Chain A
Amino acid sequence: MVARKLPRIVALAARMLGDRDEADDVAQEAFLRIWKIAPKWRSGSARFDTWLHRVTLNLCYDRLRRHRETSVSDDWPEQADLAPLPDERLDTAHASAHIRRALATLPARQREALVLQYYQELSNAEAAAAMGVSVEALESLLARARRNLRTALADLANTGDDAPKEHR
């Protein structure tokens, strides 16, 4: 169970929060919830996966709310993976950081839709169920997310590595 689910939970939280240490903490909390509910779980694995995504997202939203309340600056959190790397890995790491920053500019619901549908590879129906919206609403969120992401990436490219504006 841990080997199978942990990478997906960490990836989801890391992309939602933009911070790896916090993502690890969220994964640990998510598993504490799993241990509580797992003995009673009777439904299929697809519904368990959707439930697990919802639990992880709720934990991410708790942290995002806390950040909004305690944030005193708009500084970007720096991560260990941005440290100097050998040349062949530098471009990849740079591109990854670029996307992470652009993702962070999206409104949380748009980011959630994109992360669930694109990175977590949930089906449209599963992603919509995890978000508690219709498939049509998911499509709308995804379209806005991708449009805003393109704009954010263009902003980043024009201004170097300065933080792009937050999108609506």
Chain B
Amino acid sequence: MTPERFRQLTEAYGASPERWPAGERDAALALVHAGDAQTLAALAEARALDSMLDAHAVAAPSPALARRIVASAPAQPARAFWRRPRIWFSGVGFVGAGAAGVAAGALLASLLAPAPAPGDSAHGGWFEQSYSGTAFGGAPSDWSDQ
């Protein structure tokens, strides 16, 4: 980089290296570190103008302005209960989803269980065992002799 180009940079972008074009920053800094008199003079001029620019302060917006702007925001349409993310990530959501999963699993198991073939002893035994203690099955022991 030439001192002329360095002057062009500081005249446009000021004295702060972070404002200089990224592609020329290292070369410009090398020129500064080399201590070239023209370069340092250009840097000092740019810094003087920067410090004047920094003196121009704009007061922070008033809370009243912020309130007016917030009040001007359109109201969000209410979301359906089940579409609210908070519900899904809350304890209620987890418990509800878990209960729904258990119910779906039970339903699926009952639908996928093969129907008992006539004379199938294994299934017959299962059914016999299942119903044996209910009003629909026979008594586990025959008490008629007693």
- Across-interface contacts of A7 in B (CB, < 8 A): 60-61
- Across-interface contacts of B104 in A (CB, < 8 A): none
Which of these, A24, A92, A142, A153, contacts B52 with CB under 8 Å?
A153
The answer for the CA separation of A7 and B62 in the assembled complex, in Å, is 10
Task: Assess the A139–B12 pair: CB atoms within 8 A.
Answer: yes
Task: Assess the B55–A146 pair: CB atoms within 8 A.
Answer: no
Interface string of A20-38 (1 = CB under 8 A from B): 1001100110011001000
Interface residues on A, range: 35 or more
Interface string of B3-16 (1 = CB under 8 A from A): 00000100111100
Task: Assess the A142–B59 pair: CB atoms within 8 A.
Answer: no
Interface string of B53-96 (1 = CB under 8 A from A): 10111111110011011101110000000000000000000000
Which of these, B56, B59, B62, B66, contacts A99 with CB under 8 Å?
B56
Q: How many A-B contacts if CB must be within 8 Å?
A: 87
**How many B residues have CB within 8 A of the partner chain?**
28
Interface residues of B in 95-121 (CB under 8 A from A): none
Which of these, B21, B53, B60, B73, contacts A118 with CB under 8 Å?
B53
- The answer, yes or no, to whether B49 is at the interface (CB within 8 Å) is yes
Which of these, A14, A100, A118, A135, contacts B14 with CB under 8 Å?
A118
Task: Assess the B61–A100 pair: CB atoms within 8 A.
Answer: no
Interface positions of A (Cβ within 8 A of B) = 2-3, 6-7, 10-11, 14-15, 20, 23-24, 27-28, 31-32, 35, 81, 92, 95-96, 98-100, 103, 114, 117-119, 124, 135, 139-140, 142-143, 146-147, 149-150, 153
Q: Which 4 pairs across A and B sit closest by C-beta, in order of nearness?
A: A95-B55, A99-B56, A142-B12, A143-B12
A-B contact pairs, 16 of them (CB 8 A): A7-B61, A15-B58, A20-B58, A24-B61, A27-B65, A28-B69, A95-B55, A96-B57, A99-B56, A100-B56, A114-B53, A119-B56, A124-B19, A142-B12, A147-B11, A149-B49
